Amino acid sequence: MSVTEEQHVRTRFSDLDTQRHTTSRTYEDSCLGERYKILEAAGYSWKRMIEESVRLQTIGADIRFLAQQMENTNLSVNTSVSSGDEGFLSFIQEVVDPSGKVAAEIRTLARTEKEGKPFQIFPVEESAEALVSSFESVAPFSGRCERASVDRDLFFCERNPFGEYNPSHYWRLLEEGRWNFTDECGLSLDDLVAMDTTLFYMGGKIRYHKPLVAGKKATVKTWIRSFEKIWSRMRQEIIDFETGEVLAESLDDLLVVSVSKSRPKKAGEDMLKIFSRITEFPEGEGEK
């Protein structure tokens, strides 16, 4: 099928985060809207989907952030989609700034379902196996280190028209886990300045396993999987507070940056020492 669509989104002041640029959730919410527009063009508006118990279930996402954006910026969202059997869909979306530079790229694996069973809307182009295999799995936690942990309520008022949570809500919980991680490590802004080091979230992989349940609590576990030169590989899990089931997990790419020089640097011994108790493979990925 490989349909390509171009739509326009204007950022707002309310899209800015504490680092004074547009939050990643703004990109995902804009891309989600375009995914639903493609379903609508195929005859399935979100209203018809609700009436006929059809759902678009998100399974995985690979994300890259390439250029920070500010408020009142007109961004374009380019979308292409490949269809597989068993209702699988692979979306590739680029968020492009006014100069034509790609600000973010989001690859999403999803599946259309009717009453919980695979439902085919688009003609089959590829096998489900081919689409699924293009999204690598996230390695399970080995148990070799401590993990930062925070519990968060899942509010009823933040659900979408389907009574479910958009993927960006998972992103919100993961970001909350990253902030809590820094806090549990005892790192203040002054500490980071003293080390001339900060970590920039540049993207990663998110895998969605089970839905968040409104009115319940979710626990976010966060830890460093390994340091690789100028990169910190961070792992996270969103866990059902009551059952302990993993609802979603991620492997994130954080760039280690010198604050004074505004360029990447290798993590220093001071940072490695602070993170040692919550680093799964301090000796590196090759020594599993």
pTM of the prediction?
Answer: 0.94
CATH number of 141-287: 3.10.129.10
Which position has the token pair 């891309």? 31
Condensed to tens digits (0 to 9), the pLDDT of residues 141-199 reads: 999 999 999 999 999 999 999 999 999 999 999 999 999 998 999 887 788 778 888 88
Condensed to tens digits (0 to 9), the pLDDT of residues 209-268 reads: 999 999 999 999 999 999 999 999 999 999 999 999 999 999 999 999 998 888 999 988
pLDDT score of 288 more than 50: no
Condensed to tens digits (0 to 9), the pLDDT of residues 71-117 reads: 999 999 999 999 999 999 999 999 999 999 999 999 999 999 999 99
Q: Cα separations (Å) of 169 from 28, 160, 166, 211, 217? A: 10, 10, 6, 11, 13
C-alpha 187: how far from chain center: 24
Domain(s) labelled CATH 3.10.129.10 in the chain stretch across 1-135, 141-287
Select 1-135's CATH number: 3.10.129.10, 3.40.50.300, 3.30.565.10, 3.40.50.150: 3.10.129.10
Q: How far apart, in whole angstroms, are the C-alpha atoms of residue 232 and residue 64?
A: 15
